[in-house]
Chains A and B, each alone.
Chain A
Amino acid sequence: MKRSSIILLLVIALLIGVLVSTIQDASTYASFDMAQKQAPETVTVVAQLDLDSPITFDPQTSMLTFTAIDKDGQSSTVLYNQPKPQDFERSEEITIKGRAGDGQFVAIEILMKCPSKYTEEGGVMADDEASIYTENS
């Protein structure tokens, strides 16, 4: 009985350890404000693309610059040193992993949520909630 009890305890201890490590490694969803306070910690911001501000992509440096509005309505310039994702302007929501820099947000990874174009001509069919996910990293 003795050894099996030890093993059982060990397994339980490891399970707790695993859970704790998960919570420790997890990042947090933040607003741009919180990101600024927590800098240089990496956070995840769920935001929307600001289509009224310019979205520029410089192929020479492969630098994408755009403005995003977080869920609190605050906007920030975001720099993303990767090629511009396909259909970037069409995304309805973007999940940006990164951290705050000098007045800008530096993205490491961007995950886009795109609506699929479902609407039929003449409004025969209602919009569909269906969406696809495309990762561009």
Chain B
Amino acid sequence: MNYMGEHDIWIQSGRFAVALAFAAALIASITYLMSWMRKDGAALRRAGRAAFMLHAAGVIGTVVILFVAILNHWYELDYVWRHSSNDLPLEYIASCFWEGQEGSFLLWMFWQSVIGLVLIKVAGQWEAGVVGVLSIVQVFLTSMILGVYLGDLHIGSSPFILIRELPENLGLPWTDMVDYLMRVPGFSDGQGLNPLLQNYWMVIHPPTLFLGFALITVPFSYAMAALLNRDYSAWVNDAMPWVFAGVGILGTGVLMGGAWAYEALSFGGFWAWDPVENASLVPWLTLVALGHLMIIERVKRKATTSTLMMAMLTFFLVLYSTFLTRSGILGDSSVHAFVDLGLNGQLLVFLGFFSVLPLGLFLMRWKDMPKSPSEDAFSSREFWMFIGSLTLLLSAAQITFSTSIPVINKLVGPDGMIALLSTELAPPVEPFAHYHSLQIPFAILITTLMAIGPYLRWKSTPWSLFKRITLSGVISLLIASLVVWGLALYTFSYALLIFTSLFAVISNATYWLKYLKGQWTVGAMTISHLGFALILIGAVISNAKKEPISTNSTFIHQDFPSNENLLMPFGDTLSMYPYWVVWTGEHQDGHNRVFDVDFYLEDDSTHRSGTRLKLNKAFTLHPFVQINETMGNVREPSTKHYWDRDIYTYVSYADLRPASVKNAEWAEPMTAIVAKGESILLFNQYLLNCDSIAIDLASFDQFTGDLANLSMRMILRVQDSLGVDHPLDVTYQVEGSSALPGEQVLEDMGLKIRFDGVSDTAGQFKITAWERNPKQDPFILMQAFVFPYINVLWLGCLLLLIGSVLSVAKRIKKLKG
């Protein structure tokens, strides 16, 4: 049967593209790896290359067709219907594309195919091994969007499945209608994009993050190729640019997530140790560790096994975080995990395959691998770099363990596989205290190493070099003391971290300016370390000194400390030290209900004269609430940025009913049927008695016999809760074809009653009753925070990114030179 309005050719092509991508990746991996294992497999390599290019064509075709489908609103497709809608602005089409699991898998494999194509060009003799391993990863990723049913087994979830083909719709009557797309109203518009995601961050954050993830596949593929061919060290040089590109891009992606949370979501900060945030941070930490181990390996050939191990682990952690965020296992503990698509089994196979096989290969080659014969000197750069990498690994381990609490429950919880625990574990009640208890000491160690690092020499460092950092140490101690004192940051661990981070900043800056003469080409290490230290300084200060300036000091009970919500009646000028704030307006802008809040500062003269408060307007903020019927409203912050601090506000409570409803004189009505001598209950509190109903006049048309004129009168009594009666009478008239229901208002009770005529049953009459809308002065609740020195963090991000770019450039240059 040909269904009208379906885009059959496109959809079939889309499915074909997915199938092609899958099959070609499979062939590419087999031919490439066969060629890799036999040194003479040039023909096989060419076959592998052709297959991979077909695979890339399939992936790109899939991406293009899905984009076309979303752009043109082809709602017969489940994916399009679910993630987009007619009224969605063009700039968010991309967000729709990767909102769902299928699309984000597609994004990930798109990046990996692009990387594969680049590798074909640049990997030289490593091509067959590296692209071969990458192809295996692509096989697994493509299988996630395959959408094939083998009996009860469900492999992948296709973005090209039609709604009428969904298992729950099979056999429903409308699926037999040729023109169901026009007939069923549900198909005229899609579900739309979650308002949380209608944000430019959602346009740039996922592609960046997934490019970072895709880049991690490269060192993994190199490591596997190296193990397969028993060439354990040479890969490091070639893989290094990819690793540092990954550090920069994944780092940017992770921080963009933080910036998104800070700028557009009212989570009250840029980092909440949310499981999904953690899942993206952990691979970054081990990737940085891998980068450093690779440097040791390249220079000293002393970290062969640990480098291979770390490359495998980092890739495994990417898959593990994919599993955590996509299996639905984080459901109870995270704000933004994906929805479970029933692919958990497949994800576990994916995870199992890429942990067992690489580890098995590694152990098989263990005896064969070169081990460093000598101990590193205590004063050598390689020794401390190794310690630094281990610290990063430990830091990653803590975050992973804590994020994995739901997994621990599944394994050893009371209902788990081996019931070791008697109660289910829940995530830490105070995530900050929990994570900081170990992450701060780790950060202190890391920043100290970063401060000393540049001055250390390979093999061993003469004492004279250490003298060079004494001055930096003293200066940073002085500045740190000033900062700690100035900000009253008297928590020991924070103060110490401020000192070590400043030490890293100053020592790296000195090293770059004084010893490297400020040259960009050799500044990669110092600039990225400087950036990282600044990120930590910004994070510590802005978090530890984050200050709520909005307060509600009404004392309720000792259990409830005054909280951080300021009650703002419309137009009142309220003190919110150091500001005075007024809620001045409210308007609707598209989907958003925008609130205008003016901020004033006291004029200097106020204090001198001491007589009259004089206020100068400082700025206006526009926090808003995005109204979304289908998915729930979202409150979004508005922030005033100064160079040294941010004033961050959002509306935490507001009456969001439309003005016509809010300001109407009468609230929602109720209807009732009354009969003579009976009584009914109005609004659960008033007793309405119907005393009599009289027909004053009734005349009929003399030709047709229809009712021409009618006038009825109903005598009613409303009894209030004190038993006092309030009499009223209402009329109902018919004149020709028009009816005139009469109504009466009981002013002192705030009631209005209308007589609506006769009901279908004889002797019964219809009425409508209203209660007066309670007069309520409009108000909102607002939260406001000051985040001091948060710009230090963003500056650090920028420097870290520049540092990563420089190091990629340096590694590529070294490869070519």
Q: Do A and B bind each other?
A: yes
Report chain A residues within 8 Å CB of B426: 26-29, 43-44
Contact A59 B332 (CB under 8 A): no
Report chain A residues within 8 Å CB of B559: 79, 101, 106
Report chain B residues within 8 Å CB of A56: none
Whether B580 is near chain A, meaning CB under 8 Å from some CB there, is: no
Contact B186 A124 (CB under 8 A): yes
Taking CB as reference atom, which chain A residue is nearest B268?
A137
A55, chain B: closest CB distance, angstroms: 14
Contact A59 B653 (CB under 8 A): yes
Report chain B residues within 8 Å CB of A130: 82, 339
Interface residues in B305-359 by Cβ distance below 8 A to A read 331-332, 334-337, 339-340
Report chain B residues within 8 Å CB of A86: 625, 632-635
Whether B606 is near chain A, meaning CB under 8 Å from some CB there, is: no
A63, chain B: closest CB distance, angstroms: 6
As a 0/1 sequence over residues 40 to 75 of chain A, the CB contacts with chain B under 8 angstroms (1 = contact) are 001110100000000001011111000000000000
Report chain B residues within 8 Å CB of A111: 332, 335
Whether A14 is near chain B, meaning CB under 8 Å from some CB there, is: yes
Report chain A residues within 8 Å CB of B337: 133
Contact A83 B653 (CB under 8 A): yes
A86, chain B: closest CB distance, angstroms: 4
Report chain A residues within 8 Å CB of B625: 86
Q: CA of A36 to CA of B285 in the docked complex: distance in angstroms?
A: 41
A40, chain B: closest CB distance, angstroms: 10
Contact A122 B779 (CB under 8 A): no
B365, chain A: closest CB distance, angstroms: 20
Contact B425 A23 (CB under 8 A): yes
Q: CA of A15 to CA of B395 in the docked complex: distance in angstroms?
A: 10
Whether B680 is near chain A, meaning CB under 8 Å from some CB there, is: no
Interface size class of B (residues with CB under 8 A): 35 or more
Q: CA of A63 to CA of B184 in the docked complex: distance in angstroms?
A: 45
Whether B567 is near chain A, meaning CB under 8 Å from some CB there, is: yes
Report chain B residues within 8 Å CB of A117: 629-631
Contact B423 A19 (CB under 8 A): no
Report chain A residues within 8 Å CB of B565: 62, 82-83
Whether A76 is near chain B, meaning CB under 8 Å from some CB there, is: no
Known: A63-B560, A108-B429. A18 touches B332 (CB 8 A): no
B101, chain A: closest CB distance, angstroms: 11
Contact A14 B394 (CB under 8 A): yes
Contact B331 A113 (CB under 8 A): yes
Report chain A residues within 8 Å CB of B402: 22, 25-26
Whether A9 is near chain B, meaning CB under 8 Å from some CB there, is: no
Contact A135 B335 (CB under 8 A): yes
Q: Name B631's contact: one of A1, A62, A116 (CB within 8 Å).
A: A116
Q: Name A22's contact: one of B82, B398, B429, B633 (CB within 8 Å).
A: B398
Q: CA of A117 to CA of B749 in the docked complex: distance in angstroms?
A: 39
Contact A26 B556 (CB under 8 A): no
Known: A61-B556, A62-B653, A82-B563. A132 touches B168 (CB 8 A): no
Q: CA of A107 to CA of B563 in the docked complex: distance in angstroms?
A: 13
Report chain A residues within 8 Å CB of B166: 126
Contact B438 A126 (CB under 8 A): no
Contact A1 B375 (CB under 8 A): yes
Contact B781 A90 (CB under 8 A): no
B388, chain A: closest CB distance, angstroms: 12
Report chain A residues within 8 Å CB of B563: 62, 81-82
Q: CA of A11 to CA of B426 in the docked complex: distance in angstroms?
A: 26
Whether B366 is near chain A, meaning CB under 8 Å from some CB there, is: no
Contact A42 B554 (CB under 8 A): no
Report chain B residues within 8 Å CB of A43: 426, 429
Contact A134 B632 (CB under 8 A): yes
Taking CB as reference atom, which chain A residue is nearest B780?
A59
Report chain B residues within 8 Å CB of A61: 552, 554, 556, 560
Interface residues in A79-94 by Cβ distance below 8 A to B read 79, 81-84, 86-87, 90
Known: A82-B563, A129-B340. A42 touches B429 (CB 8 A): yes
Taking CB as reference atom, which chain A residue is nearest B402?
A22
Contact A83 B423 (CB under 8 A): no
Contact B332 A95 (CB under 8 A): yes
Taking CB as reference atom, which chain A residue is nearest B413?
A29
Q: CA of A80 to CA of B556 in the docked complex: distance in angstroms?
A: 12
Contact B186 A121 (CB under 8 A): yes
As a 0/1 sequence over residues 10 to 54 of chain B, the CB contacts with chain A under 8 angstroms (1 = contact) are 000000000000000000000000000000000000000000000
As a 0/1 sequence over residues 190 to 222 of chain B, the CB contacts with chain A under 8 angstroms (1 = contact) are 010010100000000000000000000000000
Q: Name B184's contact: one of A82, A83, A114, A124 (CB within 8 Å).
A: A124
Q: Name A81's contact: one of B334, B428, B429, B560 (CB within 8 Å).
A: B560
As a 0/1 sequence over residues 415 to 435 of chain B, the CB contacts with chain A under 8 angstroms (1 = contact) are 000000001111111100110
As a 0/1 sequence over residues 1 to 17 of chain A, the CB contacts with chain B under 8 angstroms (1 = contact) are 11110010001001100
Contact B428 A26 (CB under 8 A): yes
Q: CA of A120 to CA of B183 in the docked complex: distance in angstroms?
A: 13
Whether B500 is near chain A, meaning CB under 8 Å from some CB there, is: no
Contact B652 A82 (CB under 8 A): yes
Q: CA of A61 to CA of B633 in the docked complex: distance in angstroms?
A: 23
Known: A82-B652, A90-B632, A125-B169. A18 touches B398 (CB 8 A): yes
Taking CB as reference atom, which chain A residue is nearest B567?
A59
Q: CA of A135 to CA of B266 in the docked complex: distance in angstroms?
A: 9
Contact A27 B632 (CB under 8 A): no
Report chain A residues within 8 Å CB of B677: none
A18, chain B: closest CB distance, angstroms: 4
Contact A83 B425 (CB under 8 A): no
Q: Name A19's contact: one of B196, B376, B401 (CB within 8 Å).
A: B401
Contact B428 A18 (CB under 8 A): no
Report chain A residues within 8 Å CB of B387: 7
Interface centre among B82, B334, B402 (most CB of A within 10 A): B402
Known: A61-B554, A86-B634. A28 touches B424 (CB 8 A): yes
Whether B405 is near chain A, meaning CB under 8 Å from some CB there, is: yes
As a 0/1 sequence over residues 252 to 279 of chain B, the CB contacts with chain A under 8 angstroms (1 = contact) are 0000000000000001100000000000
Q: CA of A131 to CA of B633 in the docked complex: distance in angstroms?
A: 14
A119, chain B: closest CB distance, angstroms: 9
Report chain A residues within 8 Å CB of B552: 61-62
Q: CA of A26 to CA of B174 in the docked complex: distance in angstroms?
A: 50
Whether B397 is near chain A, meaning CB under 8 Å from some CB there, is: yes
Contact B397 A18 (CB under 8 A): yes
Q: CA of A45 to CA of B331 in the docked complex: distance in angstroms?
A: 14
Contact B556 A121 (CB under 8 A): no
Contact B428 A27 (CB under 8 A): yes
Starting from the known contacts A3-B375, A25-B437, A27-B428, 13 additional A-B residue pairs (CB-CB under 8 Å) come to A18-B397, A26-B425, A44-B427, A61-B554, A106-B559, A113-B332, A117-B629, A125-B163, A125-B186, A131-B339, A132-B631, A133-B331, A135-B335
Question: Could you jot down 10 A-B contacts, CB within 8 Å?
Answer: A3-B378, A25-B433, A57-B653, A62-B652, A81-B560, A86-B625, A116-B191, A120-B185, A125-B186, A129-B340
* Ranked 6 nearest A-B pairs via Cβ: A83-B653, A120-B186, A44-B426, A126-B168, A83-B652, A135-B335
